[in-house]
């Protein structure tokens, strides 16, 4: 059995139905690509990295080249990735990088560290030839402020043929956030978490996701015997009651069951199992 769940960002404003439809079609296509990789026996960590790379390089999401800018007009991205064997990597506040999730992945493969920040993360990425965003390509960078897909963080949880789960999230963070601000995505237990029971990826107001360690909270519910959907509902209820803020979560368990919940106005997602 293989399974995959993919999500875009939770939004607190109502968006046009046609935009939502385009977004849904896009993630369904990407989801199919991921499912085919899993069917072909690819490792969960590789699949999460590759499908998030597709979204980071599309310019259509708030991740990688499509990232929104911070208060000083500069893109700073966060990304995190974690597998059920507890191996994890993250980058925070990195600029000019096309595939932030790939730096996070390289940290797992080549270091004993978990998270690298800013210029150090970029230098590390250079060492491994992780593609950068061309500074000349102002068209692509400029999209970030006008892009109709604005606000769309991306995340995925997948289960491979060997029963390994991997979760990953990539984002440009909140539009016009304080320069240097880091959100929940690179914080293990907050924006992402995975262990032998399941994996979770969050979206929403990062500060409140950090305060509630939302991804870890969700997987703890699964550990306590709740189904993936019950765990997702309980997590968003707890989050809402504690912070009165907005978030969304996807969960995939070791049995391939999924859960999704959010308290925003919209959030696109796609679950597939084979
Ligand atoms: N959670 C992300 C952050 O606060 C934003 C999002 O999910 O859209 O950086």
Q: What is the CATH number of the domain that holds 10?
A: 3.60.20.30
- Encode pLDDT of 154-210 as tens digits: 999 999 999 999 999 999 999 999 999 999 999 999 999 999 999 999 999 999 999
Residue listed under structure tokens 């270091």: 111
In a domain, 274, yes or no: no
Any idea what the Cα angle at residue 246 is, between residues 53 and 208, rounded to 5°? 85
Name the nearest CA neighbour of 168 among 64, 70, 255: 64
Ligand 1: centre distance to CA 87 (Å): 22
In a domain, residue 159? The reply is: yes
User: Which segments of the chain have a pLDDT < 50?
Assistant: 138-150
Query: What integer pLDDT is reported at residue 149 of this predicted model?
Result: 47
Q: How far apart are CA 208 and CA 170, in angstroms?
A: 17
**Any atom of ligand 1 within 6 Å of the Cβ of 259:** no
Percent of the chain with pLDDT over 70: 93
Q: What angle do CA 232, 23, 64 make, to 5 degrees?
A: 85
From atom 7 of ligand 1, which residue's Cα is the shortest distance away?
203
Give residue 190's pLDDT.
Answer: 98
Residue 124 lies in a domain: yes
CA-based angle 33:39:43, to the nearest 5?
A: 85
Q: How far apart are the first and last CA of the chain?
A: 6
Q: Is 270 helix (H, G, I), strand (E, B) or coil?
A: strand
Does 271 fall in a domain? no
Tell me the CA–centroid distance for residue 175 and ligand 1, in Å: 9
Helix axes 17-39, 44-56, angle to 10 degrees: 150
| DSSP label at residue 96 | S
Å from CA of 138 to ligand 1 middle: 24
253 is an active site residue: no
Task: Specify if 273 maps to a domain.
Answer: no
Backbone region of residue 136 per phi and psi (left: phi > 0; alpha: psi in -120 to 50; beta: other values): alpha
101: nearest Cα among 111, 91, 112: 91
**Predicted local confidence at residue 126, as pLDDT:** 97
> What pLDDT sits at residue 220?
98
Instruction: Answer yes or no: is the C-beta of 9 below 6 A from any ligand 1 atom.
Output: yes
d(CA 116, CA 42): 27
Domain extent at residue 53? 3-266
**Residue owning tokens 């996070």:** 104
Is the separation of the CB atoms in 180 and 70 below 8 Å?
A: yes
Nearest Cα to Cα of residue 16 among 262, 246, 202, 265: 265
Q: pLDDT value at position 151? A: 54
Q: Is residue 183 lining ligand 1, measured as CB closer than 6 Å? A: yes
Q: Which atom of ligand 1 is nearest to the CA of 172?
A: 9
d(CA 216, CA 176): 28
pLDDT at 20: 77
Three-class secondary structure of residue 198 per DSSP: strand
Radius of gyration of the chain (CA): 17
Per-residue tokens: 85: 């064997």
Please indicate, yes or no, if residue 84 is contained in any of the structural domains.
yes
Atom of ligand 1 nearest to the CA of 62: 8
Residue 166 CA: distances (Å) to CA of 10, 51, 80, 117: 21, 12, 11, 22
For tokens 């000083």, what's the residue?
72
Ligand 1 nearest-atom number relative to CA 151: 8
Q: State the Cα–Cα distance between residues 234 and 143, nearest whole angstrom.
A: 37
- What does the block give as tokens for 204? 């929403």
Nearest to 85 by CA among 50, 44, 115: 44
Residue 56 included in any domain = yes
Check residue 12 and give its pLDDT. Answer: 73
The residue whose C-alpha atom lies closest to atom 5 belonging to ligand 1 is 173
pTM exceeding the 0.85 threshold for the entire prediction = yes
C-beta of 201 in contact with ligand 1 (< 6 A): no
The reported pLDDT for the residue numbered 13 is 72
In angstroms, the CA 101 to CA 88 distance is 11
Overall domain count for the chain: 1
Substitution site in 79, 203, 268, 269 for ligand 1 pocket (most atoms within 8 Å of beta carbon): 203
Cα distance between residue 99 and residue 94, in whole Å: 10
80 touches ligand 1 (CB under 6 Å): no
Question: Does residue 272 lie in a domain region?
Answer: no
pLDDT value of residue 135 = 66
Q: Find the 172 Cα to ligand 1 centroid distance in Å.
A: 8
Catalytic residue among 153, 167, 212, 213: 153
């Amino acid at each position: 059995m293989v399974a995959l769940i993919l999500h875009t960002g939770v939004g607190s404003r109502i968006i046009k139905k046609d935009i939502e439809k385009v977004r849904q079609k896009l993630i369904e296509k990407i989801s199919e690509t991921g499912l085919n990789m899993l069917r072909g026996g690819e490792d969960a960590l590789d699949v999460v990295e590759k499908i998030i790379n597709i979204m980071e390089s599309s310019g259509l999401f708030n991740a990688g080249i499509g990232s929104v800018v911070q208060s000083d007009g500069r893109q700073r991205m966060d990304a995190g990735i974690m597998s059920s064997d507890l191996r994890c990597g993250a980058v925070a506040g990195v600029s000019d990088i096309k595939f932030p999730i790939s730096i996070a992945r390289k940290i797992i493969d080549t270091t004993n560290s978990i998270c690298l920040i800013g210029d150090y993360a970029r230098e590390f990425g250079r060492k491994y030839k992780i593609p950068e965003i061309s500074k000349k390509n102002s068209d692509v960078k400029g999209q970030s402020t006008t892009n109709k897909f604005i606000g769309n963080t991306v995340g995925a949880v997948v289960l491979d043929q060997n029963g390994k789960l991997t979760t990953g999230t990539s984002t440009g963070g909140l539009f016009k956030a304080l320069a240097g601000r880091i959100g929940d995505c690179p914080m293990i237990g907050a924006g992402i978490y995975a262990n032998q029971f399941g994996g979770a990826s969050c979206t929403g107001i990062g500060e409140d996701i950090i305060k509630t360690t939302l991804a870890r909270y969700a997987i703890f519910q699964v550990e306590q015997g709740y189904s993936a959907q019950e765990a997702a509902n309980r997590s968003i209820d707890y989050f809402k009651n504690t912070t009165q803020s907005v978030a969304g979560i996807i969960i995939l368990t070791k049995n391939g069951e999924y859960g999704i919940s959010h308290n925003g106005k919209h959030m696109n997602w796609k679950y597939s199992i084979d």
